[in-house]
Amino acid sequence: MSTNGDDHGPFQGHSNTDLSDLLGFNDIQPTASRPPSGNIAFLNANHDLIEAGASVHWLVPGEKRPASRDWSEVPNQTLQQLAQDYRAGQNIGIRLGTPSMIDQDFLHVMDLDVRDESKADVAWTALLQVLPDARSLPTVISGSGGESRHIYFLTDTPFRKKKMARSEGFTMVFDPRKGRDVKKYDWEIDLLGTGSQAVLPPSIHPDTGLPYRWERKPELVFPIMMKVSAATQEGLGARADKPIMLDDTDDDDTYLETILAAQPLDLTSGEVAEILSLLPENWVEDRDHWLTVGAALHHQFEGTKKGFDRWCEWSKRSAKFDAEDTFRVWKSFKGSKNPVRMATLIHETGWSRLSGGSSSLGSGFITRT
């Protein structure tokens, strides 16, 4: 820490520093969608986060996807490394949870995605029950516009990604990349932690062309100001650790037994299709996730052709689909002593079979408790 009497902490005085001088790199030429300071503007905007210990990486130009395939495994990059690796047009992202440790605590994001602005008040009500300090924590206004926000906070222990709450209402929207209608909820709240990333300002949103921007910047001179209470952390932990139930009832033991049972879950073909449709889009491109889906379907359909056909149908979303390899792997699932089950996919997607009961947060949305 600096001993200069004018400094108030290890990051004081850097926010206005011109990193082109600090790093010794010449700036790239501006583009139509980029501010005139290119990579230096991106690093200037996030300098304190990087210096504090956050794990920052470049994203594919004009997208939210990490530029590096092994983004989740590489060591944290320094300012110099990031400046050297920059390519024109790239956005910038941050790994959350375990990789981003700040002052011995772990950085997370609560992702509030509001698609129907008329439901914004309901969404914020749900958010404040999950994260009571949300309105005072560092916040990014999403490039998607409206009330969508990324809210940054610190915890004692790292959490993984988890669906915290979402609306009951949704709209079916045609997705040109998938060639079919997909379900878009009016609003959703996700806890982003270990294994997840968020887009940082001043990245450009791929759909709207608008920049992400800080509404409240993190005060990293005093990281404790970003740390949520023990009670809030306990609530997040309870939600994150608890399996998703197949029904919105209070009989936790009964449904826990259902999820952990060796027999296939009581799911219709349509429900299986819905669960698959809710999986992250990049799962079909990642072999480990691809294997997880195949193993879950093999267990659910007891190794029959119906399950194999369902796996092939889902796998064909990737240009890497290989029917022969898929069949070979399908046969290898037979006889597993500890099979992957559909409960794994349910837990990942936050899918729930509604029972008609009311939500614990009030009418209008489903809570993942």
pLDDT single digits (tens) 304-349: 999 999 999 999 999 999 998 898 888 888 655 557 888 889 888 8
DSSP characters over 98-165: EEEEETTEEEEEEEEEES-GGGHHHHHHHHHHH-TTGGGS-EEE-TT-TT-EEEEEEESS--B-EEEE
| Cα→Cα distances 27→67, 212, 293, 334, Å | 20, 21, 45, 56
Higher pLDDT: 178 or 57? It is 57
Write out the H or E segment, with its range, that includes residue 245: none
What is residue 166's predicted lDDT score, i.e. its pLDDT?
Answer: 93
What is residue 27's predicted lDDT score, i.e. its pLDDT?
Answer: 40
What is residue 329's predicted lDDT score, i.e. its pLDDT?
Answer: 86
Residue 245 scores a pLDDT above 60: no
Torsion (CA) 200, 201, 202, 203 in degrees, nearest 10: 30
What is residue 237's predicted lDDT score, i.e. its pLDDT?
Answer: 78
CB hemisphere CA count around 315 (13 angstroms): 26
Residue 206 scores a pLDDT above 60: yes
What is residue 24's predicted lDDT score, i.e. its pLDDT?
Answer: 36
Of 64-68, 240-244, 339-343, the poorest mean pLDDT is in 240-244
In the predicted model, what is the mean pLDDT of the chain? 78
Cβ count within 10 A of residue 74 = 15
What is residue 151's predicted lDDT score, i.e. its pLDDT?
Answer: 97
Mean pLDDT of 95-114: 95
Strand partners, 171: 184
Tens digit of pLDDT for each residue in 128-179?
A: 999 999 999 999 999 888 899 999 999 999 998 889 999 999 998 876 665 6
**Residue 212, burial from CB neighbour count under 10 angstroms (0-12, 13-18, 19+):** buried
Mean pLDDT of 204-213: 92
Domain ranges of the chain: 19-237, 260-349
Residue 29 scores a pLDDT above 70: no
DSSP 34: S
What is residue 25's predicted lDDT score, i.e. its pLDDT?
Answer: 38
Tens digit of pLDDT for each residue in 273-283?
A: 999 999 998 99
Residue 119 scores a pLDDT above 90: yes
Of 41-45, 49-53, 254-258, the poorest mean pLDDT is in 254-258
Specify whether the CB–CB gap between 272 and 300 falls below 8 A: yes
What is residue 297's predicted lDDT score, i.e. its pLDDT?
Answer: 93
What is residue 302's predicted lDDT score, i.e. its pLDDT?
Answer: 85
Cα–Cα distance measured from residue 33 to residue 28, given in angstroms and rounded to the nearest whole number: 13
Which residue type, as a one-letter code, is found at position 193? G
Strand partners, 139: 151, 216
Chain-centroid distance of CA 187 in Å reads: 15
Q: Which two tokens stand for residue 350?
A: 């936050």
What is residue 156's predicted lDDT score, i.e. its pLDDT?
Answer: 94
Pairing of the two strands 170-175 and 180-185:
antiparallel
Q: pTM of the prediction?
A: 0.59
Residue 236 scores a pLDDT above 70: yes
What is residue 100's predicted lDDT score, i.e. its pLDDT?
Answer: 96
| Banded model confidence at residue 359, pLDDT cuts 50, 70, 90 | very low
CB hemisphere CA count around 167 (13 angstroms): 23
